[in-house]
Amino acid sequence: MSDELLIQDFLDPISVAQITGDEALNEAQYGNCIKLYTEEFPLLKETDIVIVGIRDERGSGNGNAQSAAPDLIRKHLYQLYYWHPDIRIADIGNIRTGSDLKDTYAAARTVIAALLEKKKTVVILGGSHDLTLSQYGAYAQLNHVIEACCIDSLVNIQMNSVLRSENFLMEMLTGEPNFIRHYNHLAFQSYFVHPEMLQILDKLRFDCYRLGRIKEKIENMEPVIRETNMVSIDIAAMAQSSAPCNDVSPNGLNGEEMCSLSQYAGMSATVSSIGIYGYRPEKDVQELTAVQIAQMIWYFIDGKHRSLTEAPMTQRDSFNEYHTAFNEIDTVFLQSKKTGRWWMQLPNQKFIACSHEDYHLATMNEIPERWLRAQERG
């Protein structure tokens, strides 16, 4: 049995008429430019990015196993204009909801793992945030040790909660065997997070970035995301004014900021999956959150397009090279002539992603925090 047939067994096809309704799409909009699983399953070898939906929200406690979230996001994604013909995209429909939440986890894990094994970049739409376990489980199933990034106003390691969406991170980060090399948590809001949770993550040498720090200089998050493999986004990270379905907080990331982070994820050469969870259509106002998520996906794809212009590190003539020293430690910084992105060298000669600010600190004889954290992790 081919991998396509195996994957197809776990999927429900798309009904374009049901998604778009009476809205006529022209030849330049996504709905007419990407391969859709309507009757025939698309050839995966002819695609770079694969979109898949999940409808199960039972992990959040609302009991909804057949949410309209993925299709409502598609409705607005299909209306956007396709600017990146060099990025080939397929939408393979929705993962069938299991009779039990664990069955949905298993189906999602199987589908995502099969796509990752085929070297596809996977975009996951819908479902409650605990479906991140399936996203991570796909890498574990393939024995891939990864770096993970979560964008959320909350830190979901509340072990006293019965909701999987509030405690799944503990299993993901500490379960055995474990395949997490490093974890970054972006946009947490301090008043929602028990200090001990951050202490736990710090003892594990994981990095957390509060909302205020991201808003202060969002471009410093690009190096944080650049070396990750999987990105998990909870719409709860956004302010309600930018994502009306979010009733967690009036504060959070705005639409432009979330699109920037999505674009950074796309620009990464290592990000192979991104999940956008927590969208609740019944709470949305004029479907504006669905529009927001569709635009985030557009920017993720735009980032993938931009990443194609980046030169490999082996082509040193494509980089400006700067030698400097801080605290009597000699190091090298590289800046891409094509994209302007920065890397710095560790004592073991490995280069890691960094920012221009890190280079500036080094020239002032200050040790960049990013350098110190990388050394602590070994």
Tens digits of residue pLDDT in 35-91: 999 999 999 998 999 999 999 999 998 889 999 999 999 999 999 999 999 999 999
Burial 78-107 (b: 16+ CB within 10 A, else e): bbbebebeebbbbbbbbbbbbeebeebbeb
Do 135 and 160 fall into the same domain? Answer: yes
- The DSSP bridge pattern shows strands 351-354 and 342-345 to be antiparallel
Q: List the one residue out of 113, 90, 129, 164 whose CA is nearest residue 10.
A: 113
φ, ψ at 355 (rounded to 5°): -120, 170
Do 217 and 331 fall into the same domain? Answer: no
Q: List the one residue out of 197, 167, 133, 135 whose CA is nearest residue 61.
A: 167
Do 73 and 113 fall into the same domain? Answer: yes
What pLDDT, on a 0 to 100 scale, did the predictor assign at position 163? 86
pLDDT band with cut points at 50, 70 and 90 for residue 21 = confident
Q: Burial-class residue 321 by CB neighbours within 10 Å (0-12, 13-18, 19+).
A: exposed
CATH number for the domain that contains residue 176: 3.40.800.10
Least confident of 158-162, 196-200, 220-224, 352-356: 158-162
Tens digits of residue pLDDT in 294-324: 999 999 999 999 998 899 888 999 999 999 9
What pLDDT, on a 0 to 100 scale, did the predictor assign at position 3? 59
- The mean pLDDT value for 262-278 works out to 97
What pLDDT, on a 0 to 100 scale, did the predictor assign at position 37? 96
Do 346 and 199 fall into the same domain? Answer: no
Given a cut of 80, whether residue 4 has pLDDT beyond it is no
Of the candidates 289, 307, 325, which is a domain's last residue?
307
Do 178 and 295 fall into the same domain? Answer: yes
Q: Burial-class residue 367 by CB neighbours within 10 Å (0-12, 13-18, 19+).
A: middle
What pLDDT, on a 0 to 100 scale, did the predictor assign at position 105? 96
Q: Which domain holds residue 332?
A: 316-377
Pair of tokens at residue 126: 């819908």
Mean pLDDT over all residues of the chain? 94
Tens digits of residue pLDDT in 201-241: 998 899 999 999 999 999 999 999 999 999 999 999 999 99
Least confident of 4-13, 77-86, 142-151, 278-287: 4-13
- The mean pLDDT value for 145-173 works out to 91
Run of H or E residues at 232 = strand 230-234
Do 158 and 187 fall into the same domain? Answer: yes
What pLDDT, on a 0 to 100 scale, did the predictor assign at position 165? 85
Do 240 and 358 fall into the same domain? Answer: no
Do 301 and 347 fall into the same domain? Answer: no
What pLDDT, on a 0 to 100 scale, did the predictor assign at position 5? 59
Could you tell me what percent of the chain has a pLDDT over 70? 99
Query: Looking at this protein, which amino acid is placed at residue 135?
Result: Q
Query: Helix %, strand %, coil % for the chain, to 5?
Result: 40, 20, 40
Q: How far apart are the first and last CA of the chain?
A: 43
Tens digits of residue pLDDT in 368-377: 999 999 998 8
Do 292 and 332 fall into the same domain? Answer: no
Of the candidates 275, 307, 339, which is a domain's last residue?
307
Number of domains making up the chain = 2
pLDDT band with cut points at 50, 70 and 90 for residue 248 = confident
- The mean pLDDT value for 107-134 works out to 97
- The total number of residues written for the chain in this structure: 378
Helix, coil or strand: residue 127: coil
pLDDT band with cut points at 50, 70 and 90 for residue 1 = very low
pLDDT band with cut points at 50, 70 and 90 for residue 24 = confident
Given a cut of 90, whether residue 329 has pLDDT beyond it is no
Tens digits of residue pLDDT in 344-362: 999 999 999 999 999 999 9
Do 296 and 341 fall into the same domain? Answer: no
Q: Which residues pair with 353 in a beta bridge?
A: 343
What pLDDT, on a 0 to 100 scale, did the predictor assign at position 200? 87
Query: What is the rounded distance in angstroms from the CA atom of residue 120 to the CA atom of residue 271?
Result: 10
Do 298 and 334 fall into the same domain? Answer: no
φ, ψ at 200 (rounded to 5°): -60, -45
Higher pLDDT, 123 or 163: 123
